[in-house]
Amino acid sequence: MLLFISCEQDSFDRPFTIDKVENISTKIQDFDTEPLITYGGLSILGEYLIVMDMLSTAEKAIHIYNKNNFEYISSTGFLGEGPGEITRIGEFTQSYHSDRFWIPDFAKLKLFQFNLDSLLLDDKYKPSVSFPFGKGEFLSRLKFVDEQLAYGSWVEVLRPGEFRTSLGKWDLETGNIEKFGEEHPNLVGERTNAYFDYSYHHNIMVLSYTNYDILSVFDNHGKIKMNLIGEKKFDNENRKLKFFGQTTITDKYIITSYLGDYGFLLDKNQRPKGIQPNKLLFFSLEGELLKTLDTEHQIMTFTVDEENNRIFCFFSDREIPLGYFHYD
């Protein structure tokens, strides 16, 4: 059951203002991949950097590098319609186990489990474990919190072409997917899109909203701990403005990509073209905005290598799309 709170909500709201911005565009270093990846999903898993080519036409779509020296290790994720092959690849999903990860296939409506040790030993490896999911209610950007339970961004279809997101959970044993937890009362029933992350270490999770200037932080039961609210608050100028993108919770920070400006521009043919976030905001775990980094490039996805204090970004407007820089 979805719960929400009303007059008490103000005590959870924490406004933030972006005052100082550090330009780090000249500090971005290229990470060359062969072949060139056109739309990359990124994740860190142990000693490895996982780079997914979401639009790949090659035999395999998932590439693995040593995160420390950038050495290429292997590739996996065969594309196709056969057993253990992926037809329409989705975003990387972290497993409760450090030696496994999950990849959704939105054509087969299955979530495939990959075993890292097995695929590194066998270049013909194909996953044999999978779970089905439905066409209607589903979780996006999910994380497994134990063997059978995943939390994520629950997508509710309102009408064709319109949807909203909130916290959701998926019980793999029963197959039940449902929304749960609280949300800001100003967002109840509204069209929303949000990025999700969960921290195993801190037992907190976040939803960062694309079309509202708000990032909500929850405990592991879905109860709101705080809402970080920017200057535009709930005014998106009739959905013309774009705010938060992907968010990652680290040991010290809540790091989120951010635009805070118009989300579309017209190209030379007067066709709308989407604009991605160019900044990264660093919040403390208590909700204080500590610093803002401007990459001067459009960030499609990013991942954080905490051990080496590095952030890897996949940009949509750089000649070499994949780059990295140190953040501390």
Strand partners, 199: 204
Residue 175 belongs to domain with CATH number? 2.120.10.30
Range of the domain at 218: 10-326
Q: Considering the domain boundaries, does residue 312 fall inside one?
A: yes
In a domain, 3, yes or no: no
Residue 128 belongs to some domain of the structure: yes
CA 197-202-204 angle, to 5 degrees, is 45
**Does 138 fall in a domain?**
yes
Beta strands in 172-298 (DSSP E): 176-179, 194-199, 204-209, 214-219, 224-229, 241-249, 253-262, 264-266, 272-274, 279-284, 289-294
| Total structural domains within the chain | 1
Q: Is residue 1 part of a domain?
A: no
- The radius of gyration of the chain from alpha carbons, rounded to an integer in Å, stands at 19
Which residue shows structure tokens 């499609």? 300
Residue 214: closest CA among 181, 238, 192: 192
Residue 5 falls within a domain, yes or no? no
* Residue 230 belongs to some domain of the structure: yes
What is the token pair recorded at 200? 């195993």
Please report whether residue 167 resides in a domain.
yes
In a structure prediction context, what are the per-residue pLDDT tens digits for the chain, which is 328 residues long?
Answer: 444 444 455 679 999 999 999 999 999 999 988 777 878 899 999 999 999 998 888 899 999 999 999 999 999 999 999 999 999 998 899 888 888 999 999 899 999 999 999 999 999 999 998 988 876 667 888 999 988 899 999 988 877 777 889 999 999 888 888 999 999 999 988 899 999 999 999 999 999 999 999 999 999 999 999 999 999 999 988 889 999 999 999 999 999 999 999 998 877 788 888 899 999 999 999 999 999 999 999 999 999 999 999 999 999 999 999 999 999 9
Tell me the three state secondary structure of residue 25: helix
